[in-house]
Structure 1
Amino acid sequence: MEPTHRFVDTGGVRMHVAEQGRGHPVIFCHGFPHTWYVWHRQLAAAGAAGYRAIAPDLRGAGRTGAPESIDDYTNEAVVGDLLALLDDIDADQAVFVGVDFGAALLWELALRAPERVRGLVILNNPFAPRAPKPPGYYWGKMAERHFLHLQYFQEPGVADAHLAERPREFLSRVYYALSGDFHYLDVWKNPPGTRYIDALPVAPDLPWPWLSQDEFDTLAADFESVGFTGGLNWYRAIDRNWELTAHYAEAVPTVPVYFVYGENDPDMEGFSGRDPLDTMRALLPDLRAVQRVPGAGHLVQLEATEAVNGFLLGALGELTTGK
């Protein structure tokens, strides 16, 4: 069984979605630099297990439309796309699965529209309370001391052009650097002003134990075609997200949450506070399971597919049957 592909008019963009299987809907949200395809192994597993697995290309990625305005990349705007997708499939609720900025999107979805969320399965990017100042303030302070990709991404047109010069080399370097095979925070040893591709380690030749040449080629082809601007605009909209969530400053998601993370994930180590697991346990009223995957990094669903699929299917079983 292979995924089918179609487009959904969300009222904001023409969104490409890949689907596999039938049953209770499960919607997968990717990060950067990703497309729907980073979930293809999970679509196969969930579809075979009796679920309707759906992975959209989020705004600016793959075959989905890429608006020009950075304001069109806020979580508020993309939550609208997800709700339109639910309406399109005539579903009151879905289980949502997310990683990277897809995870940040889903934490906000659970605040804005909890009635549409049967549960969340989050990879690597834990919930944290809203900071007292916008993220860009903290990034600017960090970037005074060392290279920081979050700050590097901010100036429109700069990173876009640099990454487009050698897209396949950038993708191989960043996927390897974010994996459990490299300590990503070593990238911070580079001084301010470094280009991202030069801050990243040289990647070993493909295939890797967790990523085939064909899989890499599929991911790279979309970025070679459409470039990186759409994904980068998500980062440029993060301070706007902070502004738009002022009235959620004291709110926490109340939906059921399942959290799985790679032991060597850089977001858990360097971007999520001193003790992200204890923070989630203290704040989330319905945190049902937390699992650490030994040796894995940021793309844990590819690096440790069997472990993630097992966790995912266990969570789906509990959420959709009540067991």
Structure 2
Amino acid sequence: MHALEHQLLEVNGIELSLYSAGPQGGRALWLLHGFPECWHSWRKQIAPLAAAGYRVLIPEMRGYGKSSAPREPEVYDLITLCGDIQGAMDALGQTECCVIGHDWGAPVAWHLALLEPQRVRAVVAMAVPFGGRPKQPATELMAQLYAGRFHYILHFQTPGVAEAEMDADMARTLRMMMHNTSAAVPKDFFLQDKPAGAGLFDGMQDPGSLPAWCDAAAFAHYLDTFAGRGFYGALNWYRNFHRNWLRTEALAELQVGQPALFLLGDHDPVGTLEAYTLKQMPKRVRQLEQHVLKDCGHWIQNEQAEQVNQLLLDFLGRQYPA
């Protein structure tokens, strides 16, 4: 087995915490985690990918873990987040790579493919599809559609509000979010029917235990990611929909031209929330391969790790061989 390495890189005005594994000369694979996760969410992919000959790079994204977490929400827009990874690629002298992203890591992966058509040779996204730049910022549309009703993204917009509830008991927060977006739970916090101004977890019960896909040792890594800091950095990613819309204007007409793989769990509520984007995706991603995994919720690379690994290695073997 290849030993796991760690380093801190000075890039894009921050310190980026980066874990890596696999042969130094292997082709680069970037694994970009989502919310509210950590580098360790890729624990079931690192060894198989490294064993296949890839140099696997797993950053703690801006706002998470040992990476810097500026307080200002405006420094968490997509172009800046992409700049963190681009800066790390530059620092490591990489001229080619494949980017793989889950949840919020997926939009970063999609936009890296747009920004770096020569360096990014292939792209994989899980849970969050790509439909191009919307006609208006997503939060404006949400405010119209959910006037007077709760929507978790609208709930996250005001700094300090969601943090107060989530930071009060971080273990409870993570348990609730893990359970209530897994395949085994039919109701989730994404799609709650309650009034605007309600708390994130109002009407829900703490399961008091971990889902089957996350054992205590793994959960300790998730907790450590937010210990002493809380969730403000992770939540700041949600406070940039308008800024993202403004800063991606130059990319509005671009298509993803690289070979692309998209994976979605059949019980992932994001599939319902992003139904329109899923329909639009084939128009914006020219070489698209899609798979829906059965009995799978939002945490796809852990809930169905074996199938995800098989699909990844098959796609990479054809489109980005080690």
Residue of structure 2 equivalent to 1:202:
206
Q: Report the number of matched residues.
A: 318
Alpha-carbon distance, 1:76 to partner:
0.8
Find out whether 1:296 has 2:280 as its counterpart. no
Alpha-carbon distance, 1:195 to partner:
0.8
1:142-167 CA distances to partner (integer Å, 9 max, x unpaired)? 43243211001000111112210011
Find out whether 1:49 has 2:52 as its counterpart. yes
Task: State the TM-score, normalized to the length of structure 1.
Answer: 0.93
2:113 counterpart (87, 110, 113): 110
Q: How does 1:213-292 map to 2 (within 5 A)?
A: 213-270=216-273, 272-274=274-276, 276=278, 278-287=279-288, 289-292=289-292
Which stretch shifts more, 75-84 or 190-199? 190-199
Q: Letter of the 1:294 partner, please give it.
A: K
Q: Letter of the 2:298 partner, please give it.
A: H
Find out whether 1:192 has 2:193 as its counterpart. no
Contact 1:7 1:15 in 2 (8 A): yes
Contact 2:177 2:189 in 1 (8 A): no
Q: Secondary structure of 1:32's partner?
A: coil
Which one has a larger percent helix, Structure 1 or Structure 2?
Answer: 1
Q: Secondary structure of 1:150's partner?
A: helix
Residue of structure 1 equivalent to 2:124:
121
Contact 1:177 1:201 in 2 (8 A): no
Distance 2:12 2:121 in 1: 24
Which stretch shifts more, 25-34 or 278-287? 278-287
Distance 2:250 2:226 in 1: 36
Q: Secondary structure of 1:41's partner?
A: helix
Runs of 4+ in structure 1 over 6 Å off: none
Distance 2:80 2:258 in 1: 21
**Root-mean-square deviation over aligned CA pairs:** 1.7
Q: Secondary structure of 2:202's partner?
A: helix
Contact 2:65 2:225 in 1 (8 A): yes
Which stretch shifts more, 241-250 or 57-66? 241-250
Q: How does 1:128-139 map to 2 (within 5 A)?
A: 128-139=131-142
1:51-94 CA distances to partner (integer Å, 9 max, x unpaired)? 11111011101110012222211111121111111122221011
Q: Secondary structure of 2:228's partner?
A: helix
Give percent identity, aligned residues only.
30
Q: How does 1:91-170 map to 2 (within 5 A)?
A: 91-170=94-173
Q: Secondary structure of 1:274's partner?
A: helix
Find out whether 1:34 has 2:3 as its counterpart. no
Residue of structure 2 equivalent to 1:319:
319
Distance 1:313 1:227 in 2: 35
